[in-house]
Structure formats: C-alpha cells, structure tokens
Amino acid sequence: MKAKVKIKKEDRVMVIAGRDKGKVGKVIRVYPEKNTALVERVNMIKRHTRAGQAQSGQGGIIEKEAAISLSNLKVMCDKCAGPVRVGHKVLEDGVRVRICKKCGEQLEAK
C-alpha cells in the first residue's frame, strides 16, 4: 500500500535533515512506494561507469542525484519564504487543493 505523499513533482523543497541540510531544490521525481524523492542538485553521488553503460556512451565518473527520504523534506511556501507543513482544503467548486499551514496560501506546483 502506498503512503500518502504531500510532496509532488515540480515542488520547491528544503532538506531539513542529513548531509545536505538547508539546501533548496526542485523535485524531479517522487517514489511513493519507497517513500523517497529525487531533488535537483541534492544528495549527489558519484557512479563509476564503463563506456558502454553510460547514456552518452562515454565512461568515467558520473555525478547524479540519489533518492532522499520524504521525511527529510519540507515544501517551500512562496509567500512565507520558508519551509512549511502542507494541509488540504476543498474549494467551493469541489476541487481539493494543498494549502500552507502557516499563512493559508494555496500551494500549486510551478
């Protein structure tokens, strides 16, 4: 069973724990079954690849993002200019939206 995920693709998030604490980046991909996400330029790792295995066909040391736990990420609110908790609200027309728990502003993926 998948866990409820409050972080979506294209969200701006801040790392709140670990080696990259304080870094802000955009979510590239979310893995709800593993409870992890890939964040742009956060949790960088180096992979040694042979010439035939790399996407470009060239070998060497490739630096790429590794998955980071969702519990170590917080969504950034544009109005509050900081990391916030996420809540949900149903609008008059029946649409369910995510809101900032600090200021009540609607959060949408850019």
Per-residue pLDDT of the chain (110 residues; tens, 9 = 90+): 566 889 999 999 999 999 999 999 999 999 999 999 999 999 999 999 888 766 677 888 989 999 999 999 999 999 999 999 999 999 999 999 999 999 999 997 55
In the chain the domains, ranked by start, together with CATH numbers, are: 12-80 (2.30.30.30)
Length reported for the chain: 110
In contact, 36 and 70? CB cutoff 8 Å = yes
Q: What's the burial of 70, exposed, middle or buried (CB within 10 Å: 0-12/13-18/19+)?
A: buried
What pLDDT does 55 receive? 66
67 vs 18: CA distance, rounded Å: 13
